[in-house]
Structure 1
Amino acid sequence: MIGVFAQQAERHGFKVIISTGDKDMAQLVNDNIMLENTMTNTRMDSRGVFDKFGVTPEQIVDYLALIGDSADNIPGIPKVGPKTARKWLAQYGTIDNLVASAHEITGKIGDNLRDNLQQLALSKQLATIKCDLELPYSIDDLKQQPMNVAGLKSLLSELGFTSWLKILGNTTATPAAVVSIPVADQQPKDAAETIDIIYETILTEQQLDHWLEQLEQAELFAFDTETTSLIYSKALIVGVSFAVTAGKAAYVPLAHDYPGVPDQLDRTTVLEKLRPLLENPAKAKLGQNLKYDSHVLANHGIHLRGIAHDTMLASYVLNSTATKHNMDDLAKYYLGVDTLHYEDVTGKGAKQIPFQAVSIEQAEPYAAEDADITLRLHQVLGAKLAEIPSLQQLYSSMEIPLIAVLTRIEANGVLVDTAMLAQHSMELASSINALEQQAHDLAGQSFNLGSPKQVQEILYDKQKLPVLKKTPTGQPSTDESVLQELALSYPLPKLLLDHRSLSKLKSTYTDKLPQQINDKTGRIHTSYHQAVAATGRLSSSDPNLQNIPIRSEEGRKIRQAFIAPDGYKIVAADYSQIELRIMAHLSADAGLLKAFNEGLDVHKATAAEVFSVALDQVSNDMRRSAKAINFGLIYGMSAFGLAQQLGLPRNQAQSYIDLYFSRYPGAKQYMDTIREQAKEQGYVETLFGRRLYLPEINSRNAARRQYAERTAINAPMQGTAADIIKRAMLTTDNWLLETQPDAKMIMQVHDELVFECAIDQVESCTVQIRALMASAATLSVPLIVDMGVGNNWDEAH
């Protein structure tokens, strides 16, 4: 139909754009028809087709017929790839000419062609977009007509499209006005209910007292802050908003600053009036990303307690991948409401103004809407969570309590040695310069190692390295995966990878970390994110502590700069091989259970099983291979991937995998079972009920389906590990609060918790931390916690 309408439109004199990333559509391209890939923001005309595929649009069908396409079940000619297809079509022009000259093609590839001539005609038929369909519509029927609102509302109501019905309503809240908008409803109804939106700006003591009475009487109220900065450690309050019933909210401006700004209530006075409510643990509060608001209030000496609900976390627990978990996306997804965005009131780019410079008239509908939408989202998300008790339990007993724990860890911060970082930065600069010189020597000329275009010219035009992958614009790729594969055979790509790695460490850590030190505390305060990683893991930013490499010398030097203050030590507690232990528990494989329960080196034990040797006969290479198999299989690694990692032929890697599964049949059975469960129910679960939905698990696209299958195998293990360390953080934080040792939790990285502990309490703290972490979950194998102590993070690991 796309082909039919494209050609019809062309005949009517239109210039046609087909929005697609599908290579099959390239056969439709001509002077009047082009393709646009909105994912890469690129357009492709006839010249673009040739640049990308090496053939003209008229040759695309023949090209696809020769190379085949497994996703579309086009068989093609065995062993014929793009390079051979381009060569033949350049020489013979068409498949028909190629077939007529098939006897001229020599070698095995010629035999393949001649043996498959019959299916070549079928391949061409399958690759051809049929543009002579007789359709009951013409291009004239597709012209946009004025909207039939009454008919559209009737149809949407009949079909239960309540979100689209809401879009037909008025969803814009006006300052100091009442408008009717549809209420969010997840059930089809004959017509959308409406509520009155009443937003109020509080400028007098009388108004404030009236609202304080409502907040006191409410079982739950939504609370939000507007601030001077997105960086929590620097942010100060510009205003606060709250809501107690859907559609009714208030904004209290406190620090707006612009010419002609009206009188506002005193910030200190208002915050003191709010303090008893905000610090009362029995008074339930609701918010969107309340960890940020907790920090902001703490900057004003108020310690937020009584966090009962957080809509960001409710959405994340309900379905981590259905939508982004910021308020604007949640409002659109669950309520069908287009909210006012931050940029709508502050502007964008260089012209953006701070929130304190926004007029109160503009700030009110934005700020009050935040509290109102949060409350309405809670009503929808709370009902959905209540329908799934396991998720409700996870939300209320793990994610919500963790807000306070992470707030404390972030506030604690970590001390860094700036002199050590400066020294390491100089060393990295020297190493980077040396690598640049080596690369120039290998290339035979100077070039910019950071320029993909120049790297591309050196690797492919000058050194004639094989092109393994192309960019969306048809250029040879220089991305990391390509360079890694090329580095197995060629020295220059290896140098480029080393250069990129060191340059990233220098720019991200040794140069930037000193700039991230807080002026008041003298420490670095990262931000932990609960609602980013799909499997439940925490992530961090500014700085990202999860990405500091531990195996390289350069990475360890960065960790050495994370230091303990005088009189203290860094204590690091790390779960040993936790995901493999979870695999043993989930699969109940006798061999894996035996290895862990007897305290064996599991990689050595695996090597002994796979290579059929005694434990004391396992060589270092055998153990290395077994470790790659152990970790690779829980991440769904294929024989091809294992072969690449170990530098082996693919058939040998496959034999290792086959041997592994023959020795650990429970692991294979678990993987097969979890894949089938995922296909049947559309999701997988951790031991604690966290779900990861897999919408592509039954996809007809093989690559997407296989990725979902690999995720189905790994997510229960990675997600359970994430849940376990969160449980450990909760119990450890509770111990720190109750017993008040001279110690504090300062970092969480992957499967590791890091503490600062007074030197005279290191021994007792180590014993207690190990015991708490080891008891965070009960598995059929022991949870082992490796402890380390040092003057810096590297020493303690």
Structure 2
Amino acid sequence: VPLKKRWETFRNILCSKSIKCITFNSVVGLMPLHFHRAEDLNQQMDLVLTSIWDIKLAAWILRPDAKEVDLEFASFVAGFPHLCQSKTLVPENASPNLVQLINIKDRLSYLLAMYPIISRSITKKGLADSLDQIEGPLQSVLSAMECIGVGFLPHTYQNIEQRLDNRIEELSLEARNIAGNNSFLCSSPQQVAQLLYDVLKLPVPKDTMPRTATTSSQHRSTSEAILEAIKSSTPHRIIDILLEFRSLNKLLTSYIKPLPFLARKPYLREASLSSKPIVRIHPMWMQTAVRTGRLSCRKPNMQQIPKDSTFDVAPRDAFCATAHDMCLFSFDYSQNEVRILAHMSEDQQLISLFLNKDGLDIYKQMSSLVTGKTVDSVTIEERAITKQVVLAILYGMGISQVSKKLGINRSKAQHFFNSFFARFKQTRRWIDMTKESAKKLGFVTTIVGRRRYLDEIRSNDSAKRAQAERQAVNSVIQGSAADLMKLAMLKIGSRITDWHKEGHSAGGTGRHPRMLLQIHDELLFEIANNKDDIQRLKDAIICCCAEECELDLKLKVPLKVNCSVGSSWGDGMKDC
């Protein structure tokens, strides 16, 4: 049978809506199909496959707090040994290929036996819709994204590496002069603590320390929060040196040096079309690594690559379109999690701010209501404090953390918390109700019904219980934001799959956009650098990721998306 025919048969099975494919770790299993189709830039990719029912993914939905090792195939076999007692006998003198095929057959039989057990648990707990409609189909999207990768320019990092090395050495030399010690290392927490507290006698502001900390541990900490607190109360040149050193050293060791080694050669077809083809980086997308349901990625972690420039170079500038006639297109949700808070809490004051058609700054509007000032008279500091209070609610931060972040005392931070809840009363009620529900049920649910279990929510240990209560609120907001992004990826993925069926304007190219990265509340695509193609994708984004998601999730507030385009992912991205 010709190879082309075999590929087509395999694809037809996966795309069939009448067949259920029981798999294990299908994000990896689908890669041969996606790599095969990704090589042809004009060929559509099957981004959304609804036939996949993955055992590993289903187990994670049942217990999102499961450790990674517990989701490996060997752990399932150890947990259900009675399902794999009858193994196929291997004939004597069997070839290595035959032995491998027999092992694969036994594994598939095991998955088939496990399917009804896990499926019943999924249905019993009301998680079938979340698995079948969102998490399951998303696996193919993530697999395709990893296969496609994103264009990368290694020389961008190579050009800045020496400059960073030189600046780090300058900072180290200045620090050694201040310390009066030629062997002083800015990278050593012990030496830094000794210099700050024993030699320079710098005090640590009391408000920066948690109440449970011991005296000895307080005065030996050299965390960024502590350094910022010392800088605010007792400015000293060494603090600026240490903060800059850590920032540059992390940039150098986490991104500038290692990322070029992760780049791979371009597809054969791309290499044949250009004398200098652009290499790609293919991040590994993880669907089962974060308890709230947020996606994560590795090798590299694209979600931590900083936006800000260093020496006039933004690390994101190295990520680019893969051809001169292509460009990058990005969309991100505006105030996504605050909108979800408004929806979940049903606070009419908060909802009304998002229904305001004037397009005013949401945090200035909130600060105006909290402080009683007009929007125009709200100061930069008041806006910053209000924003931090909102983020504290969303991320489960306490008053101490907010005061550290903003460099204000606890009483001022407490005042803004009290003022916020006095104005947006229903948010306080919703938080309390969420905590009580978590204590009663042992879990919280997101906007699509996905669960997160909180084992410490009834703990006798007050610290553990308080942490679980913060996680309860955070998990609903963060988890629902993750649900929204996944739904958006599926909707725009389906639209891209059918791109050729819609036809295109006379000025467009008709080439399929390609989904590259999912970063926090942002999706990054590669598309033909053509005005009509860009407008077509923007219209599709607004329709699929804003309007349709609002309707499907029955949101009480509108979603807002910001779109931008550029040749690289960094400072070159411009609003469109």
Query: Is the contact made by 2:34 and 2:143 (CA closer than 8 Å) also made in structure 1?
Result: no
Distance across 1 between alignment mates of 2:394 and 2:368: 19
The equivalent residue for 2:286 is 529
The equivalent residue for 1:762 is 534
Aligned pairs for 1:192-591 (under 5 A) are 276-277=9-10, 279-281=12-14, 282=16, 283-296=19-32, 307-324=51-68, 325-328=70-73, 330-331=75-76, 334-335=79-80, 370-389=107-126, 391-446=127-182, 447-465=184-202, 476-480=220-224, 482-483=226-227, 485-489=229-233, 491=236, 492-521=238-267, 522-551=279-308, 553=310, 557-564=314-321, 565-591=323-349
How far 1:610 sits from its partner (Å)? 1.9
The equivalent residue for 1:746 is 516
Query: Is the contact made by 1:436 and 1:449 (CA closer than 8 Å) also made in structure 2?
Result: yes
Query: Is the contact made by 1:334 and 1:377 (CA closer than 8 Å) also made in structure 2?
Result: no
Q: Which amino acid aligns with 2:185?
A: N
Aligned pairs for 1:717-728 (under 5 A) are 717-728=477-488
Identify which of 401, 417, 423 aligns with 1:657: 417
The equivalent residue for 1:779 is 555
Query: Is the contact made by 2:83 and 2:113 (CA closer than 8 Å) also made in structure 1?
Result: no
Query: Is the contact made by 2:308 and 2:314 (CA closer than 8 Å) also made in structure 1?
Result: no
Q: Pick closer, same or farther for the CA change 1:774–1:475 going to 2, 3 Å.
A: same
How far 1:669 sits from its partner (Å)? 0.9
Could you tell me the TM-score, scaled by structure 1's length?
Answer: 0.59
How far 1:419 sits from its partner (Å)? 2.1
Q: Pick closer, same or farther for the CA change 1:360–1:487 going to 2, 3 Å.
A: farther
* 1:551-593 CA-partner distances (Å, limit 9, x unpaired): 5657971111211231122111000000000001111112211
Distance across 2 between alignment mates of 1:463 and 1:770: 56
Distance across 2 between alignment mates of 1:275 and 1:562: 33
Distance across 1 between alignment mates of 2:481 and 2:50: 28
Aligned pairs for 1:68-147 (under 5 A) are none
How far 1:737 sits from its partner (Å)? 1.1
Q: Which amino acid aligns with 1:310?
A: D
Instruction: Verify: 1:608 aligned to 2:368, yes or no.
Output: yes
The equivalent residue for 1:219 is none
Query: Is the contact made by 2:50 and 2:132 (CA closer than 8 Å) also made in structure 1?
Result: no
Query: Is the contact made by 1:285 and 1:306 (CA closer than 8 Å) also made in structure 2?
Result: no
* 1:695-748 CA-partner distances (Å, limit 9, x unpaired): 111111111111111111111111111111111111111111102342211111
Identify which of 445, 460, 484 aligns with 1:700: 460
SS at match of 1:523: strand
Question: Structure 2: which 5+ runs fail to align?
Answer: 39-44, 85-94, 268-278, 501-509
Distance across 1 between alignment mates of 2:225 and 2:145: 35
Q: Pick closer, same or farther for the CA change 1:298–1:618 going to 2, 3 Å.
A: closer
Q: Which amino acid aligns with 2:282?
A: H
SS at match of 2:27: helix
Query: Is the contact made by 1:471 and 1:477 (CA closer than 8 Å) also made in structure 2?
Result: no
Q: Which amino acid aligns with 2:72?
A: M
Q: Which amino acid aligns with 2:145?
A: I
Higher RCO (CA 8 Å, separation ≥ 6 residues): 2
Aligned sequence identity (%): 30
User: Which sits farther off after the overlay, 487-496 or 315-324?
Assistant: 487-496
- RMSD (CA atoms): 3.3
The equivalent residue for 2:42 is none
Aligned residues: 511
Q: Pick closer, same or farther for the CA change 1:705–1:369 going to 2, 3 Å.
A: farther
Identify which of 323, 338, 353 aligns with 1:595: 353
Could you tell me the TM-score, scaled by structure 2's length?
Answer: 0.80
Q: Which amino acid aligns with 1:750?
A: H
Query: Is the contact made by 1:686 and 1:719 (CA closer than 8 Å) also made in structure 2?
Result: yes
Distance across 2 between alignment mates of 1:559 and 1:519: 20
SS at match of 1:436: helix
Query: Is the contact made by 2:50 and 2:137 (CA closer than 8 Å) also made in structure 1?
Result: no
SS at match of 1:505: helix
SS at match of 1:280: helix
SS at match of 1:540: strand
Query: Is the contact made by 2:168 and 2:249 (CA closer than 8 Å) also made in structure 1?
Result: yes
Q: Pick closer, same or farther for the CA change 1:709–1:433 going to 2, 3 Å.
A: same
